[in-house]
């Protein structure tokens, strides 16, 4: 199936509604919940802290503390998908 964007001059132009509903809308829906960490699996490697674009994760290896700031987190799930030990998960 080939999709083409329609252009009509003036206010009525833009993408067809079926294109928006089926292909774009699933990417606009954010998961709801918060990031949780399994302390038995986590080795405090710091990969999640480096990947977090909002600086919502802080790791102190000396004290063995993993902290997430939920007001900064936008649930992009980069940390969850790149954790080598699968220690991070989204809880509702």
E strand map for 25-87: 34-37, 57-60, 65-68
Was domain 33-91 assigned CATH 2.30.29.30? no
Tens of pLDDT along 8-25? 444 455 555 555 555 555
Residues whose CB is less than 8 angstroms from the CB of residue 92 and which lie 6 or more positions away in sequence, other chains included: 32, 33
Distance CA 34, CA 69 (A): 10
Query: Average model confidence (pLDDT) for the chain?
Result: 78
Mean pLDDT of 62-71: 92
Domain locations in the chain as residue ranges: 33-91
């Amino acid at each position: 199936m080939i999709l083409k964007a329609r252009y009509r001059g003036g206010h009525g132009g833009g993408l067809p509604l079926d294109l928006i509903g089926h292909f774009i809308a699933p990417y606009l829906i954010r998961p709801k919940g918060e990031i949780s960490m399994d302390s038995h699996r986590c080795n405090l490697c710091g990969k999640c802290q480096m990947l977090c674009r909002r600086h919502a994760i802080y790791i102190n290896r000396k004290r063995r503390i993993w902290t997430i700031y939920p007001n900064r987190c936008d649930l992009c799930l980069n940390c969850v998908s790149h954790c080598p030990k699968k220690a991070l998960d989204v809880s509702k």
